[in-house]
Amino acid sequence: MKRWRLIDTGLGEGAWNMAVDEALLNCYTREDMPVLHLYRWEKTISLGRFSALEKSVDIGQLKKHNIGCVRRMSGGGILAHGSDLSYSLTLPRNSCQEGVKANYRYWCTFLLRSYEKLGLKAHFVQALGMEQKHSNICLAGCEPYDIAIEGKKMGGNAQRYTRNVLFQHGSIPICLNEAAFDSIFLEESGMKSAASLQNCGVEISHGTLTALLIETFCETFGAEVVPSALSQNEEQNAIELFEKKYTQEGWNLYAENLCS
């Protein structure tokens, strides 16, 4: 049975969540236990590393409604947060599958099984034969290994690779707060046609969903989780990234390369 560090940082602003995720990747070595990180968000939009913000989002409305904005180190589209539970996985590449698509298929399996435990039939878009399309906004796009329930896209997942490490993170939407985000998007957000646990008839608290996700993760991958906190090195790196990168408009709005 593989042992994983379990780090739950709870509710945080987007800049801190992304600083912690990058610190976990930066500090990881082959000798370390892989890491399962769980966290929640204040009202925020996260952008993929290469997302064109001004094409899709009214920056003035974003600031007017006090909605946070943070650019991820991973790819993918723009995603609204605030009523979701997020996870990240940090693990050695030599224990991964061959190819990006194979890794999505394998490492998202615990999400499919979690939805199944909630009485939902979740499948990869490719398996359902759904029309695939690209969008700068996550929920308006449709990629082969996105997850769908009742023909509707459910959340989003993204990856980042380094020479020795695979990093993957994603979110499970408990509900979609369209009213809070609709005014900021300049193009179709996909929120009206996307799935969430609530609009699939599942009422669940963050705490219960967290416990379910951990249980299913362990069952799916034959894992044992060891509750942990950030190491001193990880915390110091996260603080530096938070201050010099993820709270800076240069990175968040314009993808200027700061820190890494």
**What is the H or E stretch that residue 15 is in?**
helix 14-27
The residue type of 98 is: E
**Phi and psi (nearest 5°) for 15?**
-60, -40
pLDDT at residue 94 in the model: 87
Tens of pLDDT, residues 75-104:
999 999 999 999 999 999 988 888 899 999
Domains of the chain: 2-254 (3.30.930.10)
Residue 62: count of CB within 10 angstroms of its CB: 20
> Six-digit token pair at 242?
């938070």
The b/e string for 97-131 (b: 16+ C-beta within 10 A; e otherwise) is eeeeeebbbebbebbbbbbeebebebbbbbeeebe
Q: Categorize the per-residue pLDDT at 174 as very low, low, confident or very high, splitting at 50, 70 and 90.
A: very high
Contact 56, 78 (CB under 8 A): yes
Name which residue leads in pLDDT, 96 or 60: 60
> Six-digit token pair at 189?
């957000």
pLDDT at residue 257 in the model: 76
Beta bridge partners of 152: 149
Residue 232: count of CB within 10 angstroms of its CB: 8
Rg of the chain over Cα atoms, rounded to whole angstroms, equals: 17
Q: Tell me the percentage of the chain whose pLDDT exceeds 90.
A: 92
Beta bridge partners of 139: none
d(CA 151, CA 115): 14
Tens of pLDDT, residues 124-171:
999 998 988 999 999 999 999 999 999 999 999 999 999 999 999 999
Tens of pLDDT, residues 182-227:
899 999 999 999 999 999 999 999 999 999 999 999 999 999 999 9
In which order are the strands placed within the sheet that holds 152-153?
Answer: 122-124, 147-149, 152-153
> Hey, which bits of 177-229 come out as E strands?
223-227
Beta bridge partners of 35: 5, 90
